[in-house]
Structure 1
Amino acid sequence: MQQNLPAAQPCPPWCRADHTEHGSDRQHAATIGPFSGPGQVTLRYLQADKGGRRRPALARLNYLSDGEPRTMDLTPDDAYDWANIIGGLDIRSCGEFADALTGLFRTLGGGQ
């Protein structure tokens, strides 16, 4: 007896994952970076298909703060805002921005 399983949806256009899963449950992923500099910034995009339904995409910003790895989960709206901010910086400003991220992290109670 053969089951009627939902077909896999096409990958999002940004997906760079080598899918080994078969069927409708898959993980989509893409990594951008690392971008060298004081913060060693890497962006990762993740999205899951589960039971024939696609879950909302998530973005994860990974960076170094005083040599310690930090992670910040971003909603698509937050990621859009961060992209506009970072895209408007020149090379010199990127170091200043990384320092500002570290200060914000500490101000919000994440550091000593």
Structure 2
Amino acid sequence: MKKKRSTKDMYQSQMFGNSRVSISIPNDLLRDVTELARQKKTSRSIILNESTQLGFREVAVRFAIEEYQRGHISVGRAAEISGLGLAEFMEEMKKHGITPRYDEESSTKEIVDE
């Protein structure tokens, strides 16, 4: 039997333009999500939505850093992919122990821009 969506869930879906998807998650994770939702007095959907957003941001940052390290993209493009501003992305790189690489072209551009 399908569980009826709460008014709050329907409202959030309309307000934020959410789409519905179906995923499989491990039973122990579902128990944790259910318990956290109970403690926060909210729905599992909201907990999963928040978790997905936080997790996605981390996945995007890691991917951008990996592509930058491989030399496939510039630091500016990596910042775009990560969804962060350039300064924020540079901080993330620092947290991961990565220093930006400077080539002749970008060094010249920086000098000209100053």
TM-score normalized by the length of structure 1: 0.33
TM-score normalized by the length of structure 2: 0.32
Structure number with higher strand proportion: 1
**More contact order relative to length (CA 8 Å, sep ≥ 6):** 1
